[in-house]
Every structure is written in structure tokens, then in C-alpha cells.
Amino acid sequence: MATLPPAYRLTIEVTKLLTGLNHLTLAVTDLNRSVTFYQKQLQLRLEATWDTGAYLSLPGFWLCLSLDPLRKSEPAADYTHYAFSLNAADFPMFVERLRSANVQEWRDNRSEGASFYFLDPDGHKLEAHVGDLASRLAACRRRPYAGMKFFDDQ
């Protein structure tokens, strides 16, 4: 079978259909308590509320709180958590505000960048993190995790 010259080869372009994380929905047991926590403690902007839910936002991200009687107000045993970004200059004040409000911590920081791991009123595991993927990868290049591979050529 003959091979076509490059000019005649069919080019297949892979289109990335997903463009980002749109929103996060968290089941809550007490809507008013959760709205207060996310609005007052974490300073998300309250956009809308209704009998069984609320929308709050940060630049480029929105959060839905959904009243759910099936939600158990206890943290899951696994490492699943949701991380929010903040500036290094704001980190100490943010942590102090949460500690002053007796927000429960669930883990000590073990990775690059300043991080504070805490629970919301329904036991959702959250993190406030200074840094981004680029800073994490740079730290990992200096001290890679066991078996770590990097895919720079994609």
C-alpha cells in the first residue's frame, strides 16, 4: 500500500471539548449556616438564594450549596478536598480569621506553598492554598514523588 505525501495526509485535530471547571455543588444540612460560612468566613460573593439552595461566587468560579437531608455532616475518610487560591500576603490573616472562628483543621500542610486545610460546617474538606500548578510542578521537579513522570511534550 502506497504512502501519501505529507500534503495529502488527513490531518486530525483533537479538539479539547472541556474548557475549565464550571462550578461545584456541595450538599449541606443547614443552608443558612453554610451560606454564612462561605459568605462571611471565606468571603465568597452571595449571588442568589432560594428555599433549598444558594449560589455564591469567586472570580471565574461559582459554588452551589444544595440542601440535602441525606448529607452526613462528617468528613469523608479519604483525601478528596477542594482547594481555593489566595495571595501569599493574605494567607496569615485568612488562617487567623478561621482559627479565631474555631474552624476545624483536618490536616497539616505537607506540600509546597502555604496551605491551610479546614472543614466547612458539613464536613467538606477544604484547603486555602498559595501557589498554582506551575509552582507545584517546579517543586516536584526539584523533589519528585516516587514514580513521578512529567509530560512536557503534550
Catalytically annotated residues: 127
* Strand order across the beta sheet in which 45-50 lies: 23-28, 61-67, 53-58, 45-50
Cell 517543586 locates to 139
Q: Provide the grid cell at 74.
A: 462528617
The helix/strand/coil state of 114 is coil
Strand segments, DSSP code E, in the chain are 23-28, 45-50, 53-58, 61-67, 82-85, 105-107, 115-119, 125-129
Are 108 and 97 in contact by the 8 Å Cβ rule? The answer is: no
Q: How far apart are CA 119 and CA 103, in angstroms?
A: 7
